[in-house]
């Protein structure tokens, strides 16, 4: 578990987005997704686990992740859990306290908050970024802005699985 850390700052978000732009454009497909999750996980102390799920039929399938351990949720039906709900609704979902949200599918006992950002291509959800945090109320509007910008950059790299 990462130590308690301060929230993301605008300056850090801007620097990280520049780094991610370079990482994403210098790789293709799965390599770009893997590089993005590693960069997000290592650069933002409040992000304890970062994953990218891709849409396959009526499911979300885990394609790339970075964090201390794998999750048992490698396939999630669209509409189930916070991830499935975000994919079905096509909008970002922020859960400040997973213990108070009945949609939450537990991946890690240490997770306290979750953010899920859909990746859209041509108006269709093709994947999503899933962020877990070991801190309550870990995500600000700045995290949302950053991750939605990253999702737009990743959209061309996301192929159906």
**CATH of region 10-157:** 3.30.450.40
**pLDDT of 51-98, one tens digit each?**
999 999 999 999 999 999 889 899 999 999 999 999 999 999 999 999
| Per-residue confidence band for 5, with pLDDT thresholds at 50, 70 and 90 | low
CA torsion sign for 136, 44, 142, 105 is negative
pLDDT mean over 28-42: 93
Domain boundary assignment for the chain: 10-157
What H or E segment, with its residue span, contains residue 132? strand 124-133
**pLDDT of 106-141, one tens digit each?**
888 889 999 999 999 999 999 999 999 999 999 999
Bridge partner residues of 49 (DSSP): 132
Whether residue 9 is predicted with pLDDT greater than 80 in this model: the reply is yes
| Per-residue confidence band for 145, with pLDDT thresholds at 50, 70 and 90 | very high
Q: Which pTM does this prediction carry?
A: 0.92
What's the rounded Cα separation, in Å, for the pair 86 and 118?
A: 7
What's the rounded Cα separation, in Å, for the pair 14 and 90?
A: 25
């Amino acid at each position: 578990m990462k130590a308690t850390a301060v929230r993301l700052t605008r300056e850090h978000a801007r620097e990280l987005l520049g780094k991610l732009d370079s990482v994403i454009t210098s790789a293709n497909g799965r390599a770009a997704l893997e590089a993005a999750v590693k960069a997000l996980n290592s650069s933002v102390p409040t992000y304890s686990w970062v994953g990218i799920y891709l849409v396959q039929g009526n499911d979300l399938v885990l394609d790339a992740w970075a964090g201390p351990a794998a999750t048992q949720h490698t396939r999630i039906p669209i509409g189930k859990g916070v991830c499935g709900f975000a994919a079905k609704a096509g909008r970002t979902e922020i859960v400040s306290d997973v213990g108070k949200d009945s949609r939450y599918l537990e991946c890690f006992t240490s997770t306290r908050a979750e953010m899920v950002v859909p990746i859209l291509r041509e108006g269709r959800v093709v994947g999503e970024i899933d962020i877990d945090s070991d801190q309550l109320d870990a995500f600000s509007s700045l995290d949302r802005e950053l991750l939605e910008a990253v999702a737009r950059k990743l959209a061309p790299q996301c192929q159906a699985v």
